[in-house]
A = this chain, B = another copy of it.
Amino acid sequence: MAVYTEVAEDDLAAFLADYDLGAVTAFKGIAEGVENSNYLLQTETGSYILTLYEKRVKAADLPYFLGLMDHLAEKDFPCPVPVHARDGQALRDLCGRKAAIITFLNGVSIHHPGPDHCREVGAGLAQLHLAGQGFEMERENNLSLSGWRSLFDACKPHADDFIDGLGRELEDELAALETTWPSTLPKGVVHADLFPDNVFFLGSSLSGVIDFYFACNDFFAYDIAVCLNAWCFETDGQFNVTKARNMLAAYRAVRPLSDEELEALPLLARGAAMRFLLTRLFDWLNRVDGALVKVKDPKEYLHRQRFHRSVSGPAAYGIL
């Protein structure tokens, strides 16, 4: 939940003067995303989301994110479409921040996804991977292997304040990941943050994917690993193999997975767990009293990582 930057009416009017959206009929801060300020903007021509990019998003990455949404929408993937101003630019300035308007997507995100939702998200993820082909910009995944060491170093001195022995456990796990992380799996555009918050449904059908602000070029199978973690564990921490089976079967029906990709899944899932465990641990250790954003519990991802370390192979995810 987040609205960090208040936009006064004069600033909004000056900003919208560069677009052809018609008169404003509603403008409300919404609790979507945790990194940026988001507003519901309704005008005579339709409904939009106005986003102001706050400090955690690098301005240099924004052309990639917005260009990717343009590219995916062009391929009929259901994502928000950046609205270009009269001069052709979608990325602009507002209240001292970079800002953009994107189209409003109908749909509702699901807090407690069931096996049917997991099937939909598996198919949707594969469609996203196919639709991303041909997108010409590149962005490294700075929250993959290359980024974990420095995040871990920043957390290490106080990791045991969170859980006794955590520093050593993560040190060992990170060393194992650094030794065995794959380098030759199929790559392309990945979402890299496809949590239930970022997927909309109408009834039981996926209607849209939002929040491309961690998208990058990485292994397709890494994106699946992120989704296994985000969608297939119950709130009590148990892994739900039915959900995983549905997700993977639906994915493979759209984009087949090679044996190498399947074999790599447990390792990639450990890595995906490391990424969220470290960022959550960093946020927890550096939490600020009075901050407007709730800090998420790193423990969830520690348990998921331990689960993936315990499995003997991809059969644990329901693959026949």
* Chain A interface (Cβ < 8 Å from any Cβ of B): 1, 3, 6, 8-10, 12, 23-32, 40, 42, 104, 106-108, 110-112, 202-203, 289-292
The answer to whether A30 and B27 have CB atoms under 8 Å apart is no
Chain B residues whose C-beta falls within 8 Å of the C-beta of A1 in the assembled complex: 3, 29, 292
How far is B109's CA from A25's CA once the two chains are assembled, in angstroms?
11
| Residue of B with least CB distance to A4 | B1
How far is B31's CA from A6's CA once the two chains are assembled, in angstroms?
11
Q: Which of B9, B106, B289 contacts A25 (CB 8 A)?
A: B106
The answer to whether A112 and B9 have CB atoms under 8 Å apart is yes
Chain B residues whose C-beta falls within 8 Å of the C-beta of A8 in the assembled complex: 111-112
How far is B8's CA from A32's CA once the two chains are assembled, in angstroms?
15
The answer to whether A292 and B289 have CB atoms under 8 Å apart is no
How far is B106's CA from A154's CA once the two chains are assembled, in angstroms?
48
The answer to whether A202 and B111 have CB atoms under 8 Å apart is no
Chain B residues whose C-beta falls within 8 Å of the C-beta of A30 in the assembled complex: 28-31, 40
The answer to whether B107 and A25 have CB atoms under 8 Å apart is yes
| Residue of B with least CB distance to A11 | B111
| Cβ contacts A to B, 26 pairs, < 8 Å | A1-B3, A3-B31, A8-B111, A9-B108, A9-B110, A9-B111, A9-B112, A10-B112, A23-B203, A24-B108, A25-B106, A25-B107, A25-B108, A25-B202, A26-B106, A26-B108, A28-B30, A28-B31, A28-B32, A28-B40, A29-B31, A30-B30, A42-B106, A289-B290, A290-B291, A292-B292
Chain B residues whose C-beta falls within 8 Å of the C-beta of A290 in the assembled complex: 289-291
- Residue among A9, A29, A107, A202 facing the most chain B CB atoms (10 A cut-off): A9
How far is B28's CA from A28's CA once the two chains are assembled, in angstroms?
11
Chain B residues whose C-beta falls within 8 Å of the C-beta of A23 in the assembled complex: 202-203
Chain B residues whose C-beta falls within 8 Å of the C-beta of A42 in the assembled complex: 106
CB distance from A32 to the nearest CB of B (A): 6
How far is B6's CA from A44's CA once the two chains are assembled, in angstroms?
31
Chain B residues whose C-beta falls within 8 Å of the C-beta of A31 in the assembled complex: 3, 28-31
| Residue of B with least CB distance to A28 | B30
How far is B119's CA from A3's CA once the two chains are assembled, in angstroms?
30
Chain B residues whose C-beta falls within 8 Å of the C-beta of A108 in the assembled complex: 9, 12, 24-27
Instruction: Answer whether A107 and B26 are a contact pair too, CB < 8 Å, given A290-B289, A290-B290, A291-B290.
Output: yes
CB distance from A4 to the nearest CB of B (A): 10
- Residue among A30, A42, A291 facing the most chain B CB atoms (10 A cut-off): A30
Chain B residues whose C-beta falls within 8 Å of the C-beta of A107 in the assembled complex: 25-26
How far is B47's CA from A104's CA once the two chains are assembled, in angstroms?
14
Instruction: Answer whether A6 and B111 are a contact pair too, CB < 8 Å, given A25-B106, A28-B30, A29-B30.
Output: yes
CB distance from A109 to the nearest CB of B (A): 8
